[in-house]
């Protein structure tokens, strides 16, 4: 089975954390689907990704265009990874299924530690995915840097 990494955000925003994770995924040769639940949130994130000159350019697009299959990072509301996708990063409570995780090189769930509903949703996803056989790692930035706090299976 595949592995999923849970990122419990307690200090940085989703956009700031993605500015760290996305370049690493691209450097590893991954095609990323950034999965959200609200079009407006993806539109805001799209703008933030374009306006980051100090970190460098992150090539991306919003799903629904004619060049979706060529986008290195595709922002999407879809609940199914595309055929060429090997990394899904889920934000705002977007779901990942165990069958997807098994087919991906990397799966990540980012959630806001200041939002009790988001924390409970992430806990439910952890239980569901690990019960289905997915290895999982829980990462927290509570100490000021990212630390692995828990692991289930062989991630």
Radius of gyration of the chain (CA): 15
Give all domains of the chain, ordered by start, each with its CATH number.
3-152 (3.40.50.10110)
End-to-end Cα distance, the chain: 9
Which tens digits make up the pLDDT trace of 12-57? Answer: 989 889 988 999 999 999 999 999 999 999 999 888 877 655 666 7
Q: Closest by alpha carbon to 15, among 3, 131, 36?
A: 36
pLDDT of residue 54: 62
- Helix, strand and coil content of the chain, in percent to the nearest 5, comes to 35, 25, 40
Residue 17 CB partners (closer than 8 Å, separation 6+)? 7, 9, 110
Tens place of pLDDT per residue across the chain (155 aa): 578 999 999 999 898 899 889 999 999 999 999 999 999 999 998 888 776 556 667 888 899 988 888 899 999 998 888 878 999 999 999 999 999 999 999 999 999 999 999 999 999 999 999 999 999 999 999 888 999 999 998 65
* pTM summary value: 0.91
Q: Are 78 and 35 in contact (CB under 8 A)?
A: yes
Q: Are 6 and 146 in contact (CB under 8 A)?
A: no
Token pair in block for residue 31? 């095609």
Q: Are 110 and 55 in contact (CB under 8 A)?
A: no
Beta bridge pairs of residue 74 = 33, 61
pLDDT of residue 81: 80
């Amino acid at each position: 089975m595949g592995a999923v990494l849970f990122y419990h955000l307690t200090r940085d925003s989703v956009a700031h954390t993605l500015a760290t994770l996305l370049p690493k995924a691209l450097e590893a040769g991954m095609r990323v689907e950034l999965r959200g639940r609200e079009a407006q949130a993806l539109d805001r994130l799209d703008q933030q990704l374009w306006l980051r000159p100090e970190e460098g350019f992150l090539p991306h697009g919003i799903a629904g265009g004619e060049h979706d299959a060529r986008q290195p990072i595709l922002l999407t509301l879809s609940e199914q990874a595309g055929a060429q996708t090997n990394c899904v990063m889920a934000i705002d409570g977007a779901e990942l299924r165990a069958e997807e995780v098994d087919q991906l090189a990397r799966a990540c769930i980012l959630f806001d530690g200041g939002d009790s509903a988001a924390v409970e949703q992430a806990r439910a996803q952890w239980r569901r995915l690990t019960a289905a056989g997915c290895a999982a790692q829980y990462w927290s930035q509570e100490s000021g840097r990212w630390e692995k706090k828990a692991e289930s299976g062989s991630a």
